[in-house]
């Protein structure tokens, strides 16, 4: 069912708008700075783009849509983390390099789908 039967292009699993903050970099704690992020799950990576809606019309051009950052999901850990925020529907993603992110949505069903889909990619990579 893959549109990319030769396997040269990583498969797009999911994309959407979530609230995001990075809380640690290489194991060092960072100050929270929540902002909306366009999140794309593709291949083995979670890729973050600045929310186009938060930008001025002139700053948002197709050529400007370079990722803000990208996370390698191999060996990553996912945990529900409602204890780490006053917000609801929050989970924490921790990479093998000690980078930690909180991701959040006001919509419970939406954040559950993200959790399940990211976990399934982590599980697939664990089996490789």
DSSP 8-state code for residue 10 = P
In terms of CB distance, is 19 or 121 closer to ligand I3P?
19
Token pair of 20, please?
A: 């995001």
Count Cβ atoms within 10 A of the Cβ of residue 65 and give its class: 0-12 exposed, 13-18 middle, 19 or more buried: exposed
Our finding on whether 36 is near ligand I3P (CB under 6 A) is no
24: which strand partners? Answer: 29, 100
Count Cα atoms within 13 angstroms, Cβ side, for 59: 8
Our finding on whether 31 is near ligand I3P (CB under 6 A) is yes
Please choose, out of 29-37, 62-70, 92-100, 107-115, the segment that lies near ligand I3P by the rule CB under 6 A: 29-37
Our finding on whether 29 is near ligand I3P (CB under 6 A) is no
Binding residue (CB under 6 A) for ligand I3P from 15, 32, 68, 117: 32
**Nearest distance from residue 100's CB to ligand I3P, in Å?**
12
Binding residue (CB under 6 A) for ligand I3P from 34, 59, 79, 98: 34
Instruction: Return the exposure string of 15-44: e unless at least 16 CB atoms fall within 10 Å of the residue's CB, then b.
Output: eeebbbbbbeeeeeeeeeeeeebbbbbbeb
In terms of CB distance, is 34 or 80 closer to ligand I3P?
34
Binding residue (CB under 6 A) for ligand I3P from 56, 58, 86, 109: 86
């Amino acid at each position: 069912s893959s549109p990319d039967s030769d396997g040269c292009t990583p498969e797009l699993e999911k994309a959407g708008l979530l609230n995001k903050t990075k809380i640690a970099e290489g194991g060092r704690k960072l100050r929270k700075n929540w902002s909306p992020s366009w999140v794309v799950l593709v291949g083995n990576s979670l890729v973050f783009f600045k929310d186009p809606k938060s930008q001025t019309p002139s700053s948002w051009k197709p050529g400007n849509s370079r990722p803000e950052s990208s996370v390698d999901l191999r060996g990553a850990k996912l945990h529900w983390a409602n204890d780490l925020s006053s917000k609801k529907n929050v989970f924490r993603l921790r990479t093998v390099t000690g980078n930690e992110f909180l991701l959040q949505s006001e919509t419970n069903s939406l954040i559950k789908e993200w959790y399940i889909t990211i976990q399934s990619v982590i599980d697939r990579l664990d089996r490789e």
